[in-house]
Structure formats: C-alpha cells, structure tokens
Structure 1
Amino acid sequence: MLLSRYERMIARRYLLPGRGEAFIAMVASISLVAVMLGVAALVIVMSVMNGFRAELFDKIVGLNGHAIIQGYNNQLPDWRRIADDARRTPGVTSATPLIEQPLFATYNGRSEFILARGMRVADIRATPTIRDNVKQGALAALTPGSGNVVIGSRLAMSLGVTVGSEITIISPQGPTTPFGTMIRQVPYRVAAIVEVGVYDYDKAFVIMPIEDAQTLLLTGDSVGMIEVETNDPDDIDRIMAPLKQKYVASAQVSDWRQLNAELFEALAVDRIVTFTVLSIIILIAVFNILSSLIMLVRAKTRDIAILRTMGATRGGLLRIFMTVGTTIGALGVSAGLVLGFIFLYFRQAVIGGVSRAIGIEIWDPTMRYLTELPSKVDPVEITVIALVALLFSFLATLYPAFKAANTDPVQVLRYD
C-alpha cells in the first residue's frame, strides 16, 4: 500500500492522538497489547506442541526404531536370516535384534515392575539415545556374562540404587518341577544409569546384553523382535512392504505409527484444535482495533470533511485509516513474536520460578511424559501465525476505513 507524503503525515498523526483523545489512545494501546498476547500465546503453544512431537518421536523411535518385526509368541528362532533380509531391503539403514519382557526387580525390600531389554553390546553402545544419556557409570562394563545391567534413572531412584548396587530380577519363566514352574531370582549389578528423558522408559528400563537376557528368560538362541530403522520414517509403509509380504506367516511387522498411533494422533488433533482456538483469540483481539478505529473516525469526522474539501480523495482516506489499523496490528504481531521467543528461551526458568512461587510442581514428569518442557520453532508455522494475525488486523480496518472514505463533507460542515 503506497501512501503519498500527506497521507503518511496524517496517518502518523492519527497513530498518536492528541490530549483530547486519550481514551482512543488507550483503546488503541489495549488493541496492540491484546494482539501481542494472542500472537505470543500462539507462538509459545504451537512451538511447545511441535517440541512435544519432535521429542517424543526422537526418544521413542530412538529406542524402538521406525518399525519392528515381532515373532508370534514373542519368538523369532530364525532371527539372523530375517535381520539380514531387512538390512538388504532398500531404505532400511539398520536391523537390531531385541528381547523385551516385563519382569519384576527388587532391592533392599523395595520392588518395581521393569521392562527387561536384551540387546547386543555393540548395539547398546551405538544407540545415541542410550550412549549419550549416561548419567552415572559407564557402558564399557556391560559385557556378556558379566552380570552387569544398565537401568533408567527413575527406576534407580525408586529402588534407591546407585552404580555398583546389586538388584534382583524376578522371572516367572523358571525350570519346571513336579511341583510346577519355579520362579527364578537372578542378581545383577548396576553398571550404568541412563536418563533418556521419557518418564515411562526411565522408570522401567533394565538393559542387558542379549546373551544374558536369553539366559534369564530361557529362550535359547531365539529373540523376540527385530528393530528396524529407515532413511525416511514418513515412507515406512513402502519400505516395509516387501518384509511384510515375505514374513506374514512367521512374524508381525508394525511401524512407529501403529505402535504409537493414539499418542501421535492425539498430538495432531491437539495442534489443530489449539491453533484454531488461539486464532479465534487473536480475532477477538483485533476487534479492539476495529473499535478504536471506529472511535477515531467519529472523533475525526470534521477533520475528514475538511480534508475532502481540500481535495483528499476517497482512496486516500481509505489508505490512511487502513494504514493506521494495520500498523497497530503489525506492532502487536512484532511484539508478540519477540515476547513468544523470549518465553521459549527462558521456559524452564519461568516454569521453575512459577513452581517455587506457588509451591506446586507445574511440570511433573509422571504426568507430562517428558522430563523437561520441549520446544521446537517451525519457521513456516511462525510465518503463518504472523500472516494470519496481520490479515485479521487488515480486515478489521476495512469497515472504519470505508466509513471515513464515504464521509459527506457537505452534511458534516453544513452547520459549522
């Protein structure tokens, strides 16, 4: 929108009303603050939602892969051949054999349900989610037959163990006797404590060499599943299709969307609903711009009539008032983006400060699934938020701008 010199001067004058128009200035300021808060809320919430999805995807997929090939009855006797076939499949980057079994662990009278996971030692040390999150101890002590295990930080806290402590894992799969199946109790030494950042995993995982897991569960040379990673998780259906067809009779192939369908679908729905609701909040905020412009037009009716008699065109008046309203909206959008980014940068400090002030833990990992508030700023999404807010601000200027442009100078000045 190109303005002439006099149009810019008048628009600048109307953006800073005089003494007798303090109320109009106050309403315009409220409009700016309302748009700022609406944009900041939308930026913060959408970035946090994106962070949730990204963190959950990275951590969950980092431990469970993009897909799993799981044997019926949790048994894959021919797992080496299946793993080799998976590695040769176009798009597959790795295939890792796993054993997972819910069991029970005790230490000094404390007991917790656990998820025992058996992996090859090389795979344990090569998995970034495990390797990069060791809080105590070292993975080097984890070798087959050593009786050493890695446990999650929350599980260590619940049991009251540290590196070097000896926990007892209880397995119902023991030897069969004339009196029934005997429960097995096997001691293991804690060699390392990890914190992957997902509460459910940190509270349950006990990771051990796959040979030790086979011995503990009496599975022989069999494994329970093969974890598959690909070069394109969004194209997982096409990549895994040949394996699904080949092993349909002996194994079930599931991808990350099926394994975590409820979680990621809920996040997607939440993002849409949140964006819609907060966009409505911004829409309500720009109604303040509409109100302030209507009051400004009414207060400046005589000035508008004089401008018309001096040769101002309808288009010029239209541009002046549209510029005034859009400028208020643009300032609010800019301030909202800055406020949103500042909050996201200091989000953990803000949450900690509020928690201390009210004496309540706002971010409880047992309820929030992740140990920290995540955030991921999407430039495309931020651009859309800014454009939507600017569009709403622009639309709010149309009625008062047309009202000003259609002012009849004859009717206004007849009795002056």
Structure 2
Amino acid sequence: MILSLQIALKFHQSARNNTLISLVSLIAVVSIAIGITISIISLSAINGFKYELSNRILAVIPHGEIEPINTPFIGWKTVLAHIRKMPDIIYASPYINFYGVVEYYNKWHAVYIRSVDLTQNVYENGLINFIEKDSWKYFCKNTKQIILGKGISDTLGVKVGDWVTILITKDFCASNKLLLSNKISLQVAGILNLNSQLDYNIAMISLSDAQCYCGRTSDISGIAIKTNDIFSVNKTIYKIAKKLNHQIYVRSWMDTYGYIYQDIQMVRIIIYLSIVLIIGISCFNVIATLILSIKDKNYDVAIIRALGAPNIFIQHVFFWYGLIIYVIASIVGTGFGIFIAFNLTNLVIICNDLLGNKIFPEGIYFINFLPVKLNKWDILLVLSITLLLGSLTSWCIALKTRKIDLYKILK
C-alpha cells in the first residue's frame, strides 16, 4: 500500500479521539451520502418514467402514423408492403380509428376506438402484455367483440362477457343539421390495463370489424408504424414520406406525447445540476474536517517533515485523508440509494395505504404508479461527480500544508 495512504488511514483512525473532528467528519459523510442517495433515487425514477413511456404508452400509441391527404387511401396495400421492407421499421399495420360513445345500463362514456389487424402477428406490437386474463386469444374478427380500457370498464361497471352499445358517428346531414349515427352491440372480450390515462379513453376492435362499421370495406384511415428507435421516429417517417409517391400526412408520437419526454429530459438536467450543488455544498463539511485535521496534526506533520519527507508527500497524506471521507460516503450513499430504489414502488404503495389517497391518481398522470429503473451508468456518473469534486477539494486544502512553519512548531 502507498505510504501516504497508510499514514492517512492512521490519521483517520486517530481522529476518533478528537470529538470535534469526529463530529464534523460524520456530518460530512452523512450529508454526502444523503446527496448520493437522493440522486440515485431521482435518476432511477426518471429512467422508470422514460421506460414506461417507451414500453407501456407506446404499446398502444403507434410510433408514427401515415394517412392520405385525400381519401380514400388509394394503393395502401402497395404502400404498406413498401414500408415493411424498410430497415428501421419493426412493425407496420393498417388501421381505422374513430370516436364513439359506450353505453351500458344508461351509463355513458366517450371512447377512442382503435382497430387492430388480427391477420398479423399480434405479438409484435406488445399489446397482448396488457390484456387481462390472457383474453387476447379469444379476440377474433367478425365476432362483434371489443376490448375496453380498464378505466372505462370500472366507470361503467362492465366485465368480460358483458354486451355494450357503441354509438358511432356516421355522417352529417346538412339539410336538417343532424348528426347521423350508428348503434352497434358488442361483447366485451377483454380488459386493457395499462395503469395509465389511456385506460379511461381507449378501446379496440378488429380492423375488419372497423371497416364494416364505418362502411369502408376496402379502405383504411392510415398505416401505423413502430420503429427501432422511438426518439428518432420523426426522421424515419419523413424519410418514408420522401420515398413514397403519394400525397400523405405523417405524424409521430412526439406530436401527442412528446411533451412527456421533454419534461423527463428537463427534469433529468435539473437533477444533474442538483447533484453538483448538493455534493458541492457537502464538500464544505469535508473542507472543515481537513482544516481542523491539519491544525490538529501540525506536530505530526512537522516531525514527518523533519525526518526528510518532502512537501508533496505531506500533501498526498491529506489528499488521501479527505478522499477517504468521500469514498466512505459514496459506498454508504450508493448502498442506501440502490436499496431504496429497488423498494421505492412498494414504499409508495404503503404510503398510499397509510394516507388513504393515491399519490398518482388514476386518470390524471400518464401512469398511476411510481416506476423505478436503475441504470448503472447513472450510478457511475453520480460517483464520478462525487469523487471528482472530492479530489479537487481535498487537493486544494492539502496545499495548505505548505504554510506549516516547521521551526515554530518544533521550537
């Protein structure tokens, strides 16, 4: 082991005999550890929200949508085949989406009905992971079935197997200024549970049924796509638009839910700045500890220097002395941060039970629970910032050992 580090460890152990230095050192360790713990928990929560946005919300909302400027969508099958051959596309499906009203025993609820092409491999779109009780396998086309969001089913008191009435806007009659509509009776084949806002306004039927109900037997509203990289989807869909010889309108999930991603990124930047500020403020405790230790060890430093140790050696001793505090705080803070992050979702559930109110009420936030996803790179970043600030402050204070007057102390 390095001699300067050995002496620093001895100094650190002997500091326990000095109550003031021990107290200040303990406060430094606790404050830095708390800062690291909060940083890891905050970044894990931000990663969790980003993960749920990518894998839960976008399991229902397509990454991009392509629709014709003028209806009907002529040659859509050719366009669909061309899109599926593109390298960045992992899933492409035709759709017909429309608004309607669900009625069940004189209870009404507005709903956005999305169609699903059951002729494709449904496992590719990730929807089946959120259908309760594995009812997707019984969801067939041309059988007058519908899958409702859990929020809708809870509001109306609907369960699987019940029949509901869907009121669909069909056309507008200009002569008498009436909105013509179509009533359809459908059986609830399953419940879609995303634990999010979408549970309160979304339902699904098969594409063939949607074409029949809307009178568009051979036509579609547009083509939904999913890409490899959801954060560069705009580049992908505009690349598609340039290659196609059709007058089309393109949009991505960034147009509807992009604000959530932007908020997540903004909060992440704020957290990074907070990490620097929290650790920076905690450094003052370490600075105080080092200054007190240097004064307390003046006689020991004078003896070491009298034995022939150069100034740089003394500086290394106190550099290691300060860095030990940061290392201890980093280990403690990282341990607590990882432990709490792993159990944070359960802690929030316990708080909900104790308070009697949900911290994330259903239907208000885009998800109704607190997600957590640990990322080793975030942990390494927090530790790197801590140790970098620790190294700088420790070295700056260690330079003060040059001002120790050897003659005055040993006289």
TM-aligned CA deviation for residue 89 of structure 1 = 2.9
Q: Distance in 2 between matches of 1:379 and 1:134?
A: 32
> Aligned in 2, Cα 1:137/1:92: closer, same or farther, shift over 3 Å?
closer
Is the deviation greater in 387-396 or in 359-368?
A: 359-368
- TM-score relative to the length of structure 1: 0.90
Q: 1:104 aligns with which of 79, 86, 101?
A: 101
CA deviations on 1:349-398 (whole Å, 9 max, x unpaired) are 21122333344422334343123322222222221211110011112212
Query: 1:227 maps to what in 2?
Result: 224
Aligned pair count reads: 410
Letter in 2 for 1:283: G
Mapping 1:253-264, distance limit 5 Å = 253-264=250-261
Indicate conservation of the 8 Å contact 1:3/1:319, yes or no. Answer: no
**Number of the residue aligned with 2:304:** 307
Structure-2 separation of matches of 1:135 and 1:349:
22
1:322 pairs with one of 319, 324, 337: 319
Greater Cα shift, 229-238 or 219-228:
229-238
* SS of corresponding position for 1:221: coil
Q: Distance in 2 between matches of 1:356 and 1:25?
A: 41
Q: Secondary structure at the match of 1:121?
A: coil
Once superposed, what is the RMSD of the aligned Cα atoms?
Answer: 2.5
3-state SS in 1 of match to 2:373: coil
Superimposed CA distance per residue, residues 214-272 of structure 1 (whole angstroms, 9 cap, x where no aligned partner): 23333343211101223444554554445312447521122344443322222212211
Q: Classify the secondary structure of the residue corresponding to 1:213.
A: helix
SS for the counterpart of 2:225 is strand
Distance in structure 1 (CA, Å) of the matches to 2:215 and 2:172: 9
The alignment status of 1:335 with 2:346, answered yes or no, reads: no
Whichever residue aligns with residue 55 of structure 1, its letter is E
Distance across 2 between alignment mates of 1:20 and 1:338: 28
Residues 104/302 of structure 1: CA separation in 2 closer, same or farther (3 Å cut): same
**Which residue does 1:3 correspond to in 2?**
2
Deviations 1:37-87 (A, max 9, x none): 111111111121112112201223322333211223675343222211212
The CA deviation string for residues 84-109 of structure 1, in whole angstroms up to 9 with x for no partner, is 12123343333200111222212122
One-letter code aligned to 1:44 = I
Which residue in 2 is equivalent to 1:363? Answer: 360
Q: Is 1:118 paired with 2:115?
A: yes
1:27-176 pair list within 5 angstroms: 27-72=24-69, 76-123=73-120, 125-136=122-133, 138-174=135-171
Q: 1:28 to 1:275 in 2, by over 3 A?
A: same
- Measured after TM superposition, the shift of residue 177 of structure 1 is 9.6
How far apart are the structure 2 equivalents of 1:19 and 1:385?
A: 29
Q: 1:16 maps to what in 2? A: 13
Q: 1:366 to 1:31 in 2, by over 3 A?
A: farther
Report sequence identity in percent. 20
Q: Does 1:273 align with 2:270?
A: yes
Aligned residue among 385, 391, 394 for 1:397: 394
Does 2:231 match 1:204? no
**What one-letter code is carried by the residue in structure 2 that aligns with 1:57?**
S
TM-score when scaled to structure 2?
0.91
Q: Is the 8 A contact 2:15 2:21 kept in 1?
A: no
State the distance in 2 between where 1:209 and 1:361 align: 35
**Structure 1 unaligned residues grouped into runs of 5+:** none
